[in-house]
Structure 1
Amino acid sequence: MNRICVGLLFMSIVSVRGDCPNGYVRHDDSCYKFFSSVLATWAESLTYCELFESKLAVIETEREQTFIEGLLSREWHTGASDGVWVDGTDLLIEGEWVWADDGTPINTQGYNKWFPGEPNSLGRRGEDCMDLLHHEKYNWNDNSCERKQNFLCEIETEGSSGMGGGNANNGIIGK
């Protein structure tokens, strides 16, 4: 009898967590994981997410942005980087920001949350990769892709408009 109760309890915990892998948090049709103890360049972050069958997070709505702000605020800690890598880039054409996962233009998407004055592509090497800045309430910022920062991965679950498993095979930077 005790084994049956433990089994039922385990099954109910799994169903509450949804389809998200261990360590990921569900929101709508996606699962997210903030890698707060790993520092990586933007390209390394892409690869790291792919190892977990996910992608760098793509922020498509204000609702999703609000959820991500809450998640990052709860999980941010002393020692975590100020910036958090997400999927946006203008590496291919300067000033034309897209989500690397599928090449969707960011400016025509209908939602963005750039910090005032951003993107500004400061510095000799420019700033071609998007991060969310902790000290600026997770507004969007362009930064040097070579900076080592924490990152946010996303897995789109079944029923979402994406590719289901989060594989970036059709993206501009994909395999």
Structure 2
Amino acid sequence: MELNRRISLLVTTLSGKLISLLSFVLGVNVAQGATATQSSTWRGVYTADRAVDGNTGKIFFRDTCTHTACNNQNPYWTVNLGRTHNINSLTIHNPDQARGRLHDVKIEVFATDPATGGGAGAQLCATIGSTPVASATSTTLTCTTGTKGQYIRISKSNLQPTHFNFFCDALLLCEVEVDATPAVNCPMGFERNQDSCYYFADDFVESWFTARLACQTMGADLAVIESQDENNFIKGRLATIAGSNKWSFYAGLHKLNDQMTWKWIDPKAVTGVPSGPPNTASAFSDWRSGQGSDTQASHCLAFDRPNTNAVFQWYDERCSNNGRYVCEVSPTFPTSPCGKCAK
């Protein structure tokens, strides 16, 4: 019995960690458990936190829903995601007692708290027009590409007058789910490209392993190449940094002990470059002709070039050779960046 209990506890713990990791990587409902506030609270009971408690049930008097006060002329609800995110979409779960209340809604994203003077930088994510969303349904609203911030506010306008013995036109929400991915604020000395930050070291280290350690001390890791665009960005910067020098730069690809299989240091990346895809659906590699296939020694990826007039490409380098390096920190790798690197 005790063994079964321990196994069950272990499975539950691992499942929870896996779900948390997938949520971080895929951007699934980053609002759950976040701090939420609203402009007012009906009867002091239907508080803002009820819309981020994970209960997506839509029966108002049974499930956990929010409700602003009836005399609130400009009701709103705000969630603080805790850090800057790239916002993809919101899903609003509308209660069965909505009765046409979910209308004329504006969803805005802010870098700072709009309740303390941060409203000037509002980014419009989406709107709901005058036609109400049906009761007891869910609606998903896709944000405009590039919408980014820490605070999301749902506000309502054009309220109908409250009549005696008739429902008030307040803001009701049973649950708000936010599909988003964390954004990275580049630390000093790093350069941004898309949503990753890069550090290009112009001093050499003794080996690929030393280069990786140098990156990790900065809360980053050796760069993992996910696309042609990213590869082109790195190659362009290396050409500028190296100038007329014959330098090579380590990145985060190395060969396993079988001396055949290349593997990215990012555990989410696929083993088998270049025969299989790295982090994307389509295979990508940039080996110089004749590189990447030697099985005689332990090797690591380095950007190099045969002469200073040529472009940088992937070279099969001995991991023990001296070299420079490229570090990267992104929203999903390393999974636990240092505090100064991604707040």
TM-score if structure 1 supplies the norm length? 0.73
Instruction: Kindly provide the amino acid, as one letter, of the partner of residue 43 in structure 1.
Output: F
CA change 1:127–1:43 in 2 (3 A) is same
* Counterparts of 1:163 and 1:127, CA distance in 2: 24
CA displacement 1:30-85 (0-9 Å, x = unmatched): 00011112323001111111000001001111000110011111111455x52210
CA change 1:19–1:56 in 2 (3 A) is same
CA contact (8 A) 1:49 1:56 kept: yes
- Structure 2 SS opposite 1:92: coil
Residue 155 of structure 1: which of 315, 329, 333 is its match?
329
Unpaired runs of 5+ in structure 1?
Answer: 1-17, 168-175
| 1:118 partnered with 2:291 | yes
Count of matched residue positions in the alignment of Structure 1 and Structure 2: 144
% identical equivalent positions: 23
The corresponding residue for 1:144 is: 318
The corresponding residue for 1:172 is: none
The corresponding residue for 1:14 is: none
CA displacement 1:61-115 (0-9 Å, x = unmatched): 1000110011111111455x52210011113321111102326222211110111
| 1:51 partnered with 2:217 | yes
Higher helix share: 1
Summarize the alignment of residues 52-67 of structure 1 with structure 2, pairs less than 5 Å apart. 52-67=218-233
Runs of 4+ in 1 over 2 A off after TM superposition: 120-123, 161-167
Residue 258 of structure 2: which of 87, 93, 96 is its match?
93
| Higher Rg | 2
Range with bigger deviation, 81-90 or 52-61: 81-90
Instruction: Kindly provide the amino acid, as one letter, of the partner of residue 99 in structure 1.
Output: W
Higher strand share: 2
* Counterparts of 1:70 and 1:77, CA distance in 2: 11
| 1:75 partnered with 2:249 | no
Range with bigger deviation, 59-68 or 101-110: 101-110
Unpaired runs of 5+ in structure 2?
Answer: 1-183, 278-282, 339-343
CA contact (8 A) 2:256 2:263 kept: no
The corresponding residue for 2:301 is: 130
CA change 1:151–1:163 in 2 (3 A) is closer
* Counterparts of 1:149 and 1:162, CA distance in 2: 23
| 1:36 partnered with 2:209 | no
RMSD (Å), alpha carbons: 2.2
Residue 24 of structure 1: which of 155, 166, 190 is its match?
190
CA contact (8 A) 2:222 2:250 kept: yes
Instruction: Kindly provide the amino acid, as one letter, of the partner of residue 230 in structure 2.
Output: E
Bigger RCO (CA 8 Å, 6+ sep):
1
* Counterparts of 2:311 and 2:200, CA distance in 1: 16
